Amino acid sequence: MTAGRDGGGAGMFSSGLRGGGRWIGDPHVFHGEGAWWDPRAGALRYVDMLAGDLITLRGDAVERTDMASGVAAVIRSRRAGGYVVAVQGGFRLLDDELKLEREIPVFGDPSIRMNEGACDPSGRLYVGSMAYDARRGAGTLYRLDPDLSVHVALENVSIPNGLVWLDDGRTALHTDTPTGEIRAYDFDPVTGEFGASRPHIAVPPDVGAPDGCALDADGCLWVAIWGGSAVHRYGPDGSLEDRIALPVSNPTSCAFGGPDGTTLFVTTSQETIDVEAEPLAGRVYEVEAGVAGAPVPDFAG
């Protein structure tokens, strides 16, 4: 893979809000994150992360579920039924009604929290941790295996975010936001281990910083640009192909969903911004992308 060059020139790409896009979701969300389309429920799931709430959005109907943890980071379906969710210091297994079945503690440091993650094609769940003060190198990417054992996949990360797999699971793309890079890692689909890495996409600091992402069926990567008021679409070679401008500073994550899988949902945050100047911050932007999302694996545990 080649390193992508992100020039950030809006004149080369689509700008403004795409036709048919609209703002949806709970207007009271402070830090929306972890967007994921739940095909079983026919709903968008995301989190008000620092509030510890899981949000379910069916059409315009909003449901909040308190995870009672201070942080809720990411949720995925379990193949056997129910869900797995990352919370403050570990994981929880939930039933189909989002009721707690089992706690899986990972760490007890109150200065560290879970942040973002995804499942690989084999159904292992990877979630990264970070320091509340965002200090460099304080985070770890953890792997939860189907047997519910927990392993360290990467160390010395800072703000781990977007994570997807390419090439039949032989390449992982992972974002560590403060570096401005999305790196491509050699990945062993049998053991679940990360190998050598190389730059794949670089976002210049004056453009913003890469946050959560979603892969489409054409192998292109849609990336929320924190501080950049935009979502970028990168081609398989890492080159910038498209840009959707948004009237909020901090997009945080992307997910494909809807009846035919072509709706792109983008979560946003009120963190660090003036909410009077950005009244839509914290809500979800919904737009037709013109392409379906790639399959999102369930957790195999």
Q: Which residues are catalytic?
A: 211
**Strand 150-157 to 160-166 pairing:** unpaired
Which amino acid would we find at residue 291?
V
The CA dihedral of 200, 203, 204, 206, to the nearest 10 degrees, is 180
Q: Positive or negative, the Cα torsion across 214, 216, 220, 222?
A: negative
Closest by Cα among 220, 214, 299, 231 to 37: 214
Q: Positive or negative, the Cα torsion across 101, 63, 259, 293?
A: negative
Note whether 143 and 160 are within 8 A (CB): no
Long-range contacts of 163-170 (CB under 8 A, 24+ apart): 163/116, 163/117, 163/118, 163/126, 163/128, 163/213, 164/118, 164/213, 164/214, 164/215, 164/221, 164/294, 165/120, 165/121, 166/215, 166/219, 166/236, 168/121, 169/120, 169/121, 169/122
Distance in angstroms (rounded) separating the CA atoms of residues 143 and 188 = 13
Residues constituting the chain: 301
3-state helix, strand, coil in the chain (%, to 5): 5, 55, 45
Which amino acid would we find at residue 193?
E
